Structures are given as C-alpha cells and as structure tokens.
C-alpha cells in the first residue's frame, strides 16, 4: 500500500458544482495534514491545514478521520479559478519535515 493515496482523477466539473477529494494514508503515527494546490507548471502552495475537528475556509472544507486514516477536501460552488491539481500532504511529526509525504495529486478542471 502506498503511503499516501488520492483519487486518481481527473475531475471535470461544471462551474457551481460541489466536488470532493479523498486521501488515505498508511502511517497511523501521522500527526499533521495539509492540502496543497498546484497550478499547471507552478510550485505547490499551501491551501489549508487539516485539523481533527474539521475546518472551513470560505468554499473549502477539510476533514480528518484518524480512525479510518482518511482526509477529505470539499469545494463548494466551484469556480474556473479552482482548476488545479490538489495534493494531500501527510507528516508523521510536528517539528521535522524530513518525512513529509506528498500524495500524487488529483487534477480538477472546472468547465464553464
């Protein structure tokens, strides 16, 4: 089993749609979780951290289920500008980043 797995994608959705991305991780000792966004031919940028209680930032909602080792990202009312690849990131430690694992990413295209 890969350390971090994501929906294979690509996701093609119309503007205004709600889309959900799923991510699973294999290391139960993982402590920190993030979603990154990567535009085509650009560097990844932090979208949001994922907290145990779940967290929301505007149209974006991230959730964590430690028991199932599962993370999700929900995007409501999709915009054309949301088109990008979304990377799930898992870290087993709070202070050392040498074991951070990036998922392969899920591509999203929002269609007019």
Please give the residue ranges that form the binding site for other proteins (CB under 8 A).
34, 36, 41-46, 87, 89, 96-98, 100, 102-105
Q: Which two tokens stand for residue 22?
A: 């799923």
| Residue 80 main-chain phi, psi, to 5 deg | -55, -35
| Complex with other proteins: residue 62 or 78, whichever CB lies closer | 62
By beta-carbon proximity to other proteins, the closer residue of 94 and 112 is: 94
Q: Tell the smallest beta-carbon distance from residue 74 to other proteins (Å).
A: 22
**DSSP class per residue in 8-38:** ---EEEETT--EEEEEEES-TT--EEEEEEE
Shortest distance in whole angstroms from residue 48 CB to other proteins: 11
**CA atoms of 29 and 6, how far apart (whole Å):** 19
Q: How far is the CB of 77 from other proteins (least distance, A)?
A: 27
Nearer to other proteins, 13 or 100 (CB): 100
Smallest distance, other proteins to C-beta of residue 59, A: 22
Q: Which is nearer to other proteins, 62 or 87 (CB)?
A: 87
Report the distance separating Cα 35 and Cα 57, nearest Å.
Answer: 12
- Quick one: 7 exposed, middle or buried, by C-beta within 10 A (0-12, 13-18, 19+)? buried
């Amino acid at each position: 089993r890969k350390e971090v797995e994501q929906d294979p994608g690509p996701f093609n959705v119309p503007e205004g749609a709600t889309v959900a991305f799923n991510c699973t991780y294999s290391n139960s000792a993982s402590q920190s979780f993030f979603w990154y966004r990567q535009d085509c031919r650009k560097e990844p940028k932090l979208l949001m951290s994922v907290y145990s209680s779940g967290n929301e930032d505007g149209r974006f909602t991230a959730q964590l289920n430690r028991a199932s080792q599962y993370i999700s990202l929900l995007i409501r009312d999709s915009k054309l500008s949301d088109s990008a690849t979304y990377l799930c990131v898992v870290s087993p430690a709070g202070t050392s980043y040498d074991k951070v694992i990036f998922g392969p990413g899920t591509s999203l295209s929002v269609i007019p």
